[in-house]
Amino acid sequence: EAGVVQSPRYKIIEKKQPVAFWCNPISGHNTLYWYRQNLGQGPELLIRYENEEAVDDSQLPKDRFSAERLKGVDSTLKIQPAELGDSAVYLCASSPPWTEETQYFGPGTRLLVL
């Protein structure tokens, strides 16, 4: 079974530029999460989707971050404009409906903002 797929794996941009990350969850997983992991820290939840609906986006900085999951499958997280402090690893995770506590993580996208 394929795991959670994320792309790109690495991204280097200059500040004020836009950037987008893509995630394809494990087939059949209706819950999708985006986390941000700063260097030397644990991941922090940005947004959680149940199918197409964003059910928890309380930690998403909405002035510059946006996310979508239009068909309830893959998802895109966007930052516009990026700031130096956005440099981090962005992790996507998914969980199946019958065991929502177990989240399966992708390899992440490492973002460096110069």
Partner 1 sequence: GNSVTQMEGPVTLSEEAFLTINCTYTATGYPSLFWYVQYPGEGLQLLLKATKADDKGSNKGFEATYRKETTSFHLEKGSVQVSDSAVYFCALSEAGGGNKLTFGTGTQLKVEL
7 binds partner 1 (CB under 8 A): no
22 Cβ neighbours under 8 A, 6+ residues apart:
6, 7, 74, 75, 76
Residue by residue, DSSP assigns 20-66 as: EEEEE--TT--EEEEEEE-TTS--EEEEEEETTEEEE-TTS-TTTEE
Kindly tell me which residue out of 79, 95, 111, 113 binds partner 1, with binding defined by CB under 8 A: 95
Q: Supply the minimum distance, in Å, between the C-beta of residue 89 and partner 1.
A: 10
Of the candidate spans 12-20, 64-72, 74-82, 105-113, the one that interacts with partner 1 by CB under 8 A turns out to be 105-113
Residues that bind partner 1 (CB under 8 A): 3-4, 31, 40-45, 48, 55-56, 91, 93, 95, 100-108
